[in-house]
Amino acid sequence: MRLTLALLSALSLLFVWSIKGTIALRYFLIASTLALLANEIGKLRWSDIKIIRIPLGLLGILSIWFVMQAIFISPETSWALGELKGQWLPALAALIAGVLLAKGISGTSSTRFINAATLMLGIVFVFSLQALTAVAQSLLHWLTTGALLRGLVPLTGGKLEMSFILNILLAFLTVDLLGRSTGRGRLLPVPLTVNLVCLSVALFAMYLAGARNGTIGLIFLSLSALFLYLYDQYPRIGPQRTAAIGIGVLALIGAFSWASYQADARWKVFGETAQLAWDIDNHEEWHRTSLPRPLLANGQPADESAYNRISWIRAGLRVIAEHPAGVGYGRNAFGHALREHYPHYRGHSHSGFVDLGSAVGLPGLLLWIAFMASLIWHGWKEFFGRERRLAGLVLVFLGTGFTGRMLIDSVNQDHMLQIFFFLTGVLLVVSAERKQAP
């Protein structure tokens, strides 16, 4: 009963994490989930931890560096420690909840309703419900105004948050399809039709969200899955069928990419915008938002999103060069560092790597990269190992997707970091579990 309540609490948390105005509820559900799973701590054995000791060890070293750097290096120690308390500790709590939940469920008898496969299904169900809600909100807007709601997602308050969720959902669905098509089994204990319905909803929701970076993640995921499928099946299907399948899937990806390109005019002026944005010394618009953005050759102002992001990345590289040990952990460490030269600027850089590098310096950045690499390696080893765990491939896609998204979005903060850590904890355990892992 306690494990069932913990699962319901965790899935409820997974749903509300991305909804605006639910911070107090999030913390309550994190605390409730951990309290319900407290007895699982006593059941842990060294053999359970040994399998995932490298990722957990690197995360521990990273956390120690954050604290030491905040105390001995940061010029704003109290601020950095406050950010660690408000940002990093909840993320670690989410990871612990994921580990304990997955360990508790994986340790149950496979004849029970609650097992690793239903845990995977629960995660997919929650994200699919969010995607369906976003689609319904857009269609309701169409019925009342005659136009689809694009680029705005009332449920999450932004397209970044929705595309982040959708990229994760698509990773789960893609791995399930890959497992079915290659004979490795199913990730989700449902008919194929359910997967295809969820996939259709997720793709439509991605189109409605209109997030370019989410679309890039989708293309990367699709190409990676195609490569893995053809690599795995080449001996069985032969060169001709391999080429036909590859061309067919690439055509579908190309059609979706072309539709997204045509629907978003910002792509057509991206190159010119990037050139202007990189020249931060001769433009002030990137740190003084009251000024009009520079004009393109067609007389239109540069796209705000692309211009600002590229300028901030360029400025962030300069900040890291000036402060190689960082200025202290924090969501807005980039803005804190920039005040030395640009007192008008506030906020983060919209690049997770720039934010993190500005905050904790090159040592912290290298430790983070090592941690992410250990997650990807763990998942890869479990997927291609003797057990062929599909959950391992989900972890690979989760790790590579989050790393890629950090290049162009500040996803390593707030609820997105907590969601990532929770799923990381779940997948680390499920992919390594030898009893019933999918």
Backbone angles phi, psi at 35, to 5 degrees: -65, -40
Rounded Cα distance between 417 and 411, Å, is 6
pLDDT for position 386? 64
Kindly tell me if the per-residue pLDDT of 122 is higher than 90: yes
pTM above 0.75, yes or no: yes
Kindly tell me if the per-residue pLDDT of 211 is higher than 90: no
> Stretch 368-377: mean pLDDT, rounded?
97
Higher pLDDT, 370 or 285: 370
Burial class (CB in 10 A: 0-12, 13-18, 19+), 206: buried
pLDDT for position 157? 81
Return the closest-CA partner of residue 205 out of 175, 168, 237, 179. Answer: 168
Rounded Cα distance between 361 and 238, Å, is 49
* Angle ∠(153,158,162) on CA atoms, nearest 5: 70
pLDDT for position 262? 63
> Stretch 328-347: mean pLDDT, rounded?
78
Backbone angles phi, psi at 174, to 5 degrees: -65, -45
pLDDT for position 299? 63
Kindly tell me if the per-residue pLDDT of 364 is higher than 70: yes
Return the closest-CA partner of residue 316 out of 283, 289, 355. Answer: 355
Structure tokens at 94: 């989410």
135-151 confidence digits (pLDDT tens): 999 999 888 888 888 87
Rounded Cα distance between 291 and 88, Å, is 35
> Stretch 374-394: mean pLDDT, rounded?
88
User: 3-class secondary structure for the chain?
Assistant: CHHHHHHHHHHHHHHHCCCCCCHHHHHHHHHHHHHHCHHHHCCCCHHHHHCCHHHHHHHHHHHHHHHHHHHHCCCCHHHHHHHHHHHHHHHHHHHHHHHHHHHHHHCCCCCCCCCHHHHHHHHHHHHHHHHHHHHHHHHHHHHHHCCCCCCCCCCCCCHHHHHHHHHHHHHHHHHHHHHHHHCCCCCCCCCHHHHHHHHHHHHHHHHHHCCHHHHHHHHHHHHHHHHHHHHHHHHHHHHHHHHHHHHHHHHHHHHHHHHHHHHCHHHHHHHHHHHHHHCCCCCCCCCCCCCCCCECCCCCECCHHHHHHHHHHHHHHHHHHHCCCCCCCCCCHHHHHHCCCCCCCCCCCCCHHHHHHHHHHHHHHHHHHHHHHHHHHHHHHHHHCCCCCHHHHHHHHHHHHHHHHHHHCCCCCHHHHHHHHHHHHHHHHHHHCCCCCC
Structure tokens at 42: 């006593």
> Stretch 423-432: mean pLDDT, rounded?
94
Rounded Cα distance between 46 and 362, Å, is 32
Kindly tell me if the per-residue pLDDT of 81 is higher than 80: yes
- Residue 115 exposure: Cα atoms within 13 Å on the Cβ side: 15
pLDDT for position 111? 45
* Angle ∠(141,170,97) on CA atoms, nearest 5: 100
Structure tokens at 319: 């900040």
Structure tokens at 274: 């990037």
